[in-house]
Amino acid sequence: MADAPGETLSETVARALAEDLGGGDVTSEATIPEDARGRARIVQKQPGVVFGLAAVSEAMHQCGVEDVDNLVVEGQWREDVPADVLLASGPARALLAAERTALNFLGHLSGVATLTAHFVEAVAGTGAAILDTRKTTPGLRGLEKAAVVAGGGRNHRIGLYDAILIKENHIALAGSLAKAVYGARKARPELAVEVECRNLDEVSYALGTGADLLLLDNMDTDTLREAVRLRDENSPPGKAPSLEASGGVNLETVRGIAESGVDLISVGALTHSAPTLDFSLLVEAA
């Protein structure tokens, strides 16, 4: 897989801090002595999966907080709340300067991990894996996809550069599905080829092209089962393409989709609609 382009964690956090701090925290500068010191703890207030502590530590350090200690292991479900997840100490102004940016990262990324964990639990025992999509927050894709993994999901392609997914617009511009698949195989033979299918006729045709994966777009569960049957009956032994269901997936429907026999289920909501997990940062004078 190609290396993902984009910012480092340090650069992403610096950009977020600049957005929040601007020329400085005027409230803290006006009310808190420059030499005041404090101790802070971040408290998890809702059950869920914590993820994003590296971004919290980076925000704290960039603001001048010297000591940051994680108290939990990321990627594990925590039911007993409220619970402390991080301790920090340093200049009081620095702690407050980092507060909102740190909590924004932690709440959002933990929300992604937590929603992913709910989807993974919903399909447990079916053999289907939960995938993310490219429907991510601009500039935060790497962090959000890492949060999906922390919640027990799997990453789909990171961007347009690391996997081939032939969709209806590619087919229209290439002239046909067969031409699109041929062009993809010729140009990038080292990459698996996935083809989007909107109905069973397209599934049958795509099976004849030798695609490695079929994306079953917005099919109901009966149609998904029929697509699985077509795949199983028309594929050489050991060469059956994986089937990915996409569209209409939520926590109420995902179990039925998984039980249709598909291998993969992609869920855009993991990254574009995850509720923020609730955390607070509490500070006291040191």
Handedness of CA 175, 179, 183, 184 (dihedral sign): positive
Q: What angle do CA 41, 146, 114 make, to 5 degrees?
A: 60
Going from the C-alpha of 57 to that of each of 42, 51, 85, the distances in angstroms are: 11, 12, 12
196 classed as catalytic: yes
Burial tier of 32 (Cβ tally within 10 Å: 0-12, 13-18, 19+): middle
Ranges assigned E (strand) in 124-275: 129-131, 164-166, 193-197, 213-217, 242-246, 264-266
69 classed as catalytic: no
Catalytic residue among 39, 135, 185, 198: 135
Q: In angstroms, how far apart are the furthest CA atoms of the chain?
A: 75
Catalytic residue among 196, 202, 244, 263: 196
135 classed as catalytic: yes
* Measured distance CA(221)–CA(245) in Å, rounded: 10
225 classed as catalytic: no
217 classed as catalytic: yes
Catalytic residue among 39, 41, 167, 198: 167
Catalytic residue among 37, 100, 185, 255: 100
CB 265 within 8 A of CB 124: no
Catalytic residue among 25, 144, 202, 217: 217
Pairing verdict, β 129-131 and 264-266: parallel
Q: Give the active site residues.
A: 100, 135, 167, 196, 217
